[in-house]
Amino acid sequence: MPYDSPVGLAVVTGASSGIGTEYAATLARRGWDLVLVARRADRLDALAGRLREETGAAVEPMVADLARSSDLARVAERVAADDVALLVNNAGINGYGPFTEVDPALLAKVIDVNVVAPTVLTRAALPGMVARGRGAVVNVASLLAFAGALPPAPLPHRAVYGGTKGYMVTFTRTLAAELAATPVRVQVVCPGLTATEFHLGTGEAPVTGEARVHDEGGMPPADVVAASLAALESREVVCVPGLSDPGPLARLADEELAVRDGSGAALAPRYRTPERSRE
């Protein structure tokens, strides 16, 4: 299934800024029709109008807050339709801050948007894709999924956010193995710092005003999307746009197999107390 030619309709969540906007623009230029999902109606309408004019794509805006169950159900119903050939689960919020200080309601929203929503939407999309013998799901995670043991500063306080992105990596890799015998592709893309407005708020409410870039800068969103779509074409399950040598990902898989050796029935010697050692 080529991703550089029109093959149907793509649904992109979190489309009103940053990486989501770039997925929408890139796919439209390549001939895809679009459903664009985000909270900000003004930005969605402006983007849809621009893409229609510039590319001739059919663009359907869907204003939705994926933390709300009613909005999520409405988007899931659209994603399950027969015309959907690509789902990009890009919507995400960060909820950054020391874990003991962040509002619990915000942390719950991070989980709803970053974990529950992409899981529900992927579940809605895949049965039809498998039945039709074509389709793909792209989940946007983060390199912070691999940063669990690193302290904050210069990295953010990210216990819940990093945990949600770790979920997306494991979810996608495991799902890819489950779908290996089908033509359907799944990918998780893990960008590092990206030049978007993501760090301008915690995600409790949308960033207001014109689209802009946080002061930290980072990789251009266009490069993240270019890497993701190239990796999708070559069937890479884990895409790290800035990683020149894929060797660490292969070694990670090997080390995971070694860790799985701990699934035996015998207790590891290092955990044996003197009493247990005499048994």
Active site residues: 161
Report yes or no: 7 and 27 within 8 Å, Cβ to Cβ: no
Report yes or no: 140 and 189 within 8 Å, Cβ to Cβ: yes
Q: Residues 214, 216, 219, CA angle at the centre, nearest 5°?
A: 95
Residue 139, burial from CB neighbour count under 10 angstroms (0-12, 13-18, 19+): buried
Report yes or no: 166 and 152 within 8 Å, Cβ to Cβ: no
* CA dist 92 → 65, 83, 115, 160 (Å): 11, 25, 9, 12
How far is it, in rounded angstroms, from Cα 22 to Cα 70? 27
How far is it, in rounded angstroms, from Cα 218 to Cα 191? 10
